[in-house]
Amino acid sequence: MSDRAAEQVQRMLALVPYLKNRAGVPVDQVARDFGVAPTTIVRDLNVLWFCGLPEAVTGEMIDVDMDALESEGVVRLDNADYLARPLRLTVHEALALIVALRTLRETAVAGTADAIDGALAKLESAAADGAAAAQQVHIVSRPVDPDVGPAVQQALAQGRRVHLDYLVPSRDETTARDVDPLRLLNAEGHAYLEGWCHRAEGVRLFRLDRIVGLSVLDEAASPPADARPRDLSAGLFQPGEDALVAILDLAVSARWVAEYHPVESQTETGDGGLRVRMRVGDPAWLESLVLRASGGVRVVEPAELAERVTATARAALDAYAVP
């Protein structure tokens, strides 16, 4: 159980040295840096105002300029020299940050790796126990494609539009698109460019290893003002409301489908298999999944997809001259 007072103490122990380094900082900026509401910071200041040296008289209490806070919205804090430094990183905090930096390092391309290495070395010496724990965690990512990766990174850094020839394997087609890059990311084992696609008129993800051709254009990237990278914390696959609902029976050999792809519900079928319900943005993708599983995935719904899969397989079999 995390206690609200302990949480507040943790924040205040960072707030005091933070303010010591930034005299007269606007309360809104403090709130942004701390990731909390401005009212939370004001509440913290009201508590700090009651703290100080043991058996303190008024002059030895932590001093907060309440007038400046109320009239100008800026924070001035004084008389807290004994809290000049923040608390050490706990093992878990240092571990989480070191692993995050190492993850960045895995996919860093030339020119940016030094900055990450430098930060890592300094952190590891400032938090030795966290660094020791980090020996027990390893992150392995595929390196970013050396042809496409740096070019996309350059376009991103210079704010320029790119032209892509992009392969969609489930449709077996290559499409030409102009894209305004928003960010490069690595998730679920693959590197992606996220950007405003002028062809789809929306924010789309492009797997770098499926970019067949790329040129950085002279034109400046000009995505619509409201085009933002999507929040992918729920996973890369976030089918919309209008997505197709499919019900699939997974044989024992195809249970992995429920591990790799988000399913809405799953029930054991009793013979070691699973019946899953999932939302699918692209029917072509689902069809290719079912074909790849080659019998391990049976489509219960939609029925027309099941028929299409069987028809495709039957047509393919004809070429092998076997029944």
User: What residues between 161 and 200 interact with other proteins by CB under 8 A?
Assistant: 167, 169-170, 172-174, 183-191
> Considering the rule CB under 8 A, would residue 228 count as an interface residue with other proteins?
no
Supply 94's token pair.
């240092």
Greatest Cα-to-Cα distance within the chain, rounded to the nearest angstrom = 98
Q: In angstroms, rounded to a whole number, what is the distance separating the alpha carbons of residues 315 and 95?
A: 55
Nearer to other proteins, 192 or 197 (CB): 192
> Considering the rule CB under 8 A, would residue 300 count as an interface residue with other proteins?
no
What residues numbered 250-269 form the site for other proteins, per CB under 8 A? 251-253, 255-256, 259
Torsions phi, psi of 280, nearest 5? Answer: -125, 125
Q: In angstroms, rounded to a whole number, what is the distance separating the alpha carbons of residues 102 and 108?
A: 10
What residues numbered 16-75 form the site for other proteins, per CB under 8 A? 17-18, 21, 33-35, 43, 46-55, 57-58, 61
Q: In angstroms, rounded to a whole number, what is the distance separating the alpha carbons of residues 181 and 205?
A: 10
Interface region with other proteins, contact rule CB under 8 A, candidates 68-76, 128-136, 220-228, 274-282? 128-136
What residues numbered 91-110 form the site for other proteins, per CB under 8 A? 91-97, 99-101, 103-104, 106-109
Query: In this chain, which of 27, 41, 83, 248 binds other proteins, going by CB under 8 A?
Result: 83
Interface region with other proteins, contact rule CB under 8 A, candidates 70-78, 138-146, 214-222, 274-282? 138-146
Torsion on CA atoms 250, 252, 257, 263, rounded to nearest 10: 60
Supply 315's token pair.
């047509």
Query: In this chain, which of 88, 199, 228, 230 binds other proteins, going by CB under 8 A?
Result: 88
Residue appearing with tokens 């860093």: 108
